[in-house]
Structure formats: structure tokens, C-alpha cells
Structure 1
Amino acid sequence: MTQKPDRSAEDIGQRARRMKAARDDPGPSPLRGIGTFGMIGWSIAVPTVGGVFLGLWLDRVAPQTFSWTIALLLGGVVLGALIAWNWIGKEGDGR
């Protein structure tokens, strides 16, 4: 009768290497994607709403032939989009 070599030490070593690799590089997470969408949404929403409130105040205090509210709403959207773009660019470099 021939005996099989004891592979338990090799199996333990292989499992340990797989566990370490999984711990070092966890891979994509659905929660990370949800967090990214939330961050992008807030980075666009906050400047937009801030622009609207500032525009409403300016329309009462310093009326012009144009609407401060609409102008600052558009400015807030553009500013928020630039912030979101910059944030996505920084996140993309980190991977």
C-alpha cells in the first residue's frame, strides 16, 4: 500500500494566501457605488439650492431686468457639476 502525502499543510497555506489576497483587495462593493451616487447628488444639490436661496434674496434686495434666482440656479448646477466631476476624477485615480 502506498500512502498519500499529507497535503493539509499545503491546503492551509493556500487558504491563508487566498484569505490574505481577499483582505488586501476586497473588490467592488455595491455600498461604495451607493455612497458615490450620494456624494455626487449632494455635491450638485447643495450649490444649486444655495444659489436659489441667494437668488431669491437678491431678487428682493436688488431687483434687475433678469432673474437672480434663475441665473444663480444655473450657476449652482454648473458649480455642482464641476465639484462632482473633480470628485469623480480623484476617486478614479485612487483605484
Structure 2
Amino acid sequence: MAEKRTEEKSREKHRSLLHLIDSKQERKLRARRNSGGDVWFGLGMFGLVGWSVAVPTLLGIALGVWLDGKLEDRFSWTLMCLVAGVVLGCLNAWFWVQREGRHD
């Protein structure tokens, strides 16, 4: 009886290992088939992340410069809007990278 349980456990481990190897092999084959598009996908993602950070940052700077010209305060609106633009841009980039990552 105990010998049967040991044999069943051994078979289950063997099946589990075969399933793991099969899934890794399938993933590797899929990656090889799609390897031509990886460069373009990477460059596209790089551009997407760059623009999604750069645009809010530049808009924040423009808003800050305009506010500095209109208001006379002790602190720099340009610097505060720059930081806010960078933070918003990074959140925007993170959103797009997560969204593209889900499509794979």
C-alpha cells in the first residue's frame, strides 16, 4: 500500500516536471518566432515612454514660467510645475508600459 502511494507521488512529480519543461519550451519557441519584432517593439516602447514623460514635463515648465510671470511669490512656480510634470509623466509612462505588458 505504501509502495503504491510512493509510486503515485513519483508519477505526479514526473507529470509536473514534464508540464514545466513543456511550458518553458513553448515559451522559448514563441520568443524565437517573434524575435524579429522585438527590436521594433523595444524602440517603440522607448519612444512611448520618452514622449509620455517629456510632454507633461514641458507643459509643466511652460505653466510654471507663465505663473512666475503673473504671480509674485517667494517660491518658484516653474520648479514646482516641473516636478509635477515629471511625476505625472512617470505615472503616465508606467500606465502605458503596464497596458502594453498585459497584451503579451
**AA of the residue aligned to 1:58:** L
Task: Supply the AA of the counterpart residue of 2:54.
Answer: A
Corresponding letter in the other structure for 2:76: S
Partner of residue 39 from structure 1, selected from 43, 48, 51: 48
Question: For the aligned residues, what is the CA RMSD?
Answer: 1.6
| Structure 1: runs of 5 or more not aligned | 1-21
Q: 1:70 aligned to 2:79?
A: yes
TM-score (norm 2): 0.65
What is the distance in 2 between the residues matched to 1:49 and 1:57? 12
Identical positions, percent: 46
AA partner of residue 53 (structure 1): A
TM-score scaled by structure 1? 0.71
Question: What is the aligned counterpart of 1:52 among 61, 64, 84?
Answer: 61
Task: Compare the two structures and name the one with the higher helix fraction.
Answer: 2
Measured in 1, the distance between the counterparts of 2:97 and 2:33 equals 20
- Which portions of structure 1, spanning 4 or more consecutive aligned residues, are displaced by more than 2 angstroms? none
Q: Give the paired residue count.
A: 72
State which of 85, 89, 98 in structure 2 corresponds to 1:89.
98
